[in-house]
Amino acid sequence: MEVKRKFFPREKLAHIILTIGFYDGIHKGHQKILTQLVKDAKRKGGKSCVISFLSHPSEHFSGQPLLLLTTWEEKKKILAELGIDLLLILPFTSNFARLSPYSFVKQLSNNLEIEEVVVGEDFVFGKDRQGDVGWLKEAENEFGYKLKLIPLLKVEKKKLSSSLIREWLKEGKIEKISQWLGRHPTILGKV
């Protein structure tokens, strides 16, 4: 897997099958999205690409560190094992947070030849979370990609999410966490 930390590559990257997200923990819901991404990239002869962020957006807005389920090294290893071709890691800055959905997708399309965008059906992005899957669907023709939505996974009538797994971690529900991560959780700290 190739890892880049520049938003603007020297040349436009072609045949990109794209997903965007922080992907903390890479739980089974994330794995559904990423597996579909890789499958579609192989079928279309394109590159599977994950755009993620150096820090979680909530840390930027709250100013508080977030308990993360995976380190960047773990995340890169898992993404590589899933068959991702390209990981673009972007800083989540104040300027970035102010981008409208249109400006964000425009910048992406200026630098990436996006053939398909694969996201969960609850995906939101852009300033004040103004962009959603409805917005992405409406923008398909203008930006030349196709949108593929992946249904949410539910656990006891709740959406499977990294936040839910963090709750389980606080409650000590390690078996449940392992079940929905598809592996045992790793906890790092100083002793």
Sketch the domain layout of the chain as residue ranges: 2-152
Which H/E stretch holds residue 41?
A: helix 28-44
**Per-residue pLDDT band at 13 (split at 50, 70, 90):** confident
How many Å apart are CA 114 and CA 49, to the nearest integer?
A: 10
The per-residue pLDDT for range 100-112, each reduced to its tens digit, is 999 999 999 999 9
Average pLDDT, the chain: 90
Phi, psi of 95, rounded to the nearest 5 degrees: -60, -40
pLDDT for 96 equals 84
Q: For 2-152, which CATH superfamily applies?
A: HUPs (3.40.50.620)
Q: Quick check: helix, strand or coil at residue 114?
A: strand
pLDDT value of residue 51:
96
For the cut 80, the answer to whether the pLDDT of residue 10 exceeds it is no
CA dihedral 60, 1, 71, 73 (to 10 degrees): -130
The pairing of strands 86-90 and 2-4 is parallel
Q: How far apart are CA 21 and CA 86, in angstroms?
A: 14
User: How confident is the model over 32-51, as pLDDT tens digits?
Assistant: 999 999 999 999 999 999 99
Percent of the chain with pLDDT over 90: 70
Question: Token pair 């609850």 is at which residue?
Answer: 122
DSSP state of 156: T
If you average pLDDT over residues 143-149, what whole number do you get? 98
Q: How far is Cα of residue 81 from the mean position of the Cα atoms in its chain? A: 16
Q: Give the pLDDT mean for 70-98.
A: 93
Q: What percent of the chain has pLDDT above 70? A: 92
Confidence (pLDDT) at 9: 61
pLDDT of 21 strictly over 60? yes
